[in-house]
Amino acid sequence: MTNEENYWNDSLSEEVDADVFETERTCFNYKCNHCNTIFLSFADNKITKCIMCNEDDIKCSSSIESVNVFAIAFAKVLNDFINIYKKKIFWNPLVPIKFKRKKIIYSVSKVYLPAFLSNINQKGLIHFIGGEKETKEDKRVETKRYNVVERVYFDYNDILINTISKLDDKVFQTICDYDFSNLKEVDSSDDLEISYLVKDIDITDVSEKTRGRIAKQTISIAAQNVPHSLKKLKADETSITFANTKEVYVPIYLLNVKYKNKLYQCIMNGQNGKFHFDIPIGIIETIIFSLIIFCLVFLISFLIVYFL
């Protein structure tokens, strides 16, 4: 190989390496020593507080990587969250002043929440004890009992299962009703503002929790078909199977505020804008507001009496 050929080969190699370097991003792995939350970020600026508990006792390590994940794109922007938050919180005189500070409001995080998406089938027999109350001639009330068997075969599609222990399941189910028709594989380093929570619930616990939730829903539906005024579950002989289960990431805006040693969560669905704001009532604010109302009432009463 000639010197000229060596020169061109070396130059080409340098250009390829430069292109590869430009597409790679530094992934920062954070672990909170206070609440044990683990999350990832591709942001260039160093995160100093945990996005779940707001404590600054976090460890950070870094690596060069780019992860492809199944996710729903954010349809709502930061201002959507701020506008809803202000409308709900800002003009409420009973909300502690801490929740209205600009620094707090703009500390909201853009987060991808991990979850399992699955199709679930439940089939089998559910046994109920049905009952009807009857009043006898001597005014005694008796209950006639009947054995009722309901055969069920239900398909539940696109069931989203929470895999983060720091987020209450009831809150999760309230806001996390997503449209999965736009679910696609994305490069997690595309949007540097997003933090990625890492699941912390074991797959076995997730499975059992979901089985209980689905079974409860199925029993509730089946009980509606029991043709008696009184109905009681006797036995559940159904089986539950999972199909097409995959890990997905769903978009939320997350604001955690610590107030009087308690953490309050404000969460908004990043796709459709549904929100759950956990906000306390401030004692001082309530006293001040009550005094203002008292003074206004007293002043108006005084003026009415004075001018009549």
Distance CA 68, CA 53 (A): 27
Beta bridge pairs of residue 258 = 263
Identify the domain boundary among 19, 38, 66: 66
For the chain, the domain total comes to 2
In a domain, 300, yes or no: no
pLDDT at site 41:
87
299 within some domain: no
49 and 72: one domain?
no
Q: Do 186 and 71 reside in the same domain of the chain?
A: yes
* Residue 106 counted as domain residue: yes
Asked, for residue 305, whether it belongs to a domain, the answer is no
CB 144, CB 136: distance < 8 Å: no
One domain, residues 38 and 181: no
State the pLDDT at residue 140.
77
* Residue where a domain terminates, one of 66, 86, 103: 66
Task: Give the per-residue pLDDT at 20.
Answer: 38
pLDDT for residue 3: 46
Task: Check whether residue 167 and residue 40 sit in a common domain.
Answer: no
Q: Which residues contact 301 (CB under 8 A, 6 or more apart)?
A: none
Pair 94, 232 in one domain:
yes
The closest alpha carbon to 71, from 36, 121, 114, belongs to 114
Go through 117-149 and write b for each residue having 16 or more CB atoms within 10 A of its CB, e for each that does not.
bbebbbeeebebbbbeeeeeeeeeeeeeeeebe
Answer yes or no: do 119 and 50 share one domain: no
Residues 54 and 91 in one domain: no
Domain hosting residue 167, numbered range: 67-294
Examine the domain organization and report whether 4 and 76 are in the same domain: no
Q: From start to end of 172-229, where are the E strands?
A: 184-187, 194-197
Note down pLDDT in tens along the chain; length 308 residues.
444 444 334 443 444 343 433 446 788 889 999 889 999 888 766 788 898 888 888 888 887 666 678 899 899 999 999 999 999 888 888 899 999 999 888 889 999 999 999 999 999 999 999 988 887 777 777 888 899 999 999 999 999 999 999 898 888 988 988 999 888 887 766 677 889 999 998 888 888 888 988 999 999 999 999 988 888 999 999 999 999 988 999 999 999 998 988 889 999 999 999 999 998 888 888 888 888 888 888 888 878 887 76
Same domain, 23 and 77: no
Centre a 10 Å sphere on the Cβ of residue 275 and count the other Cβ atoms it contains. Answer: 19
212 vs 63: CA distance, rounded Å: 39
The model carries a pTM of 0.79
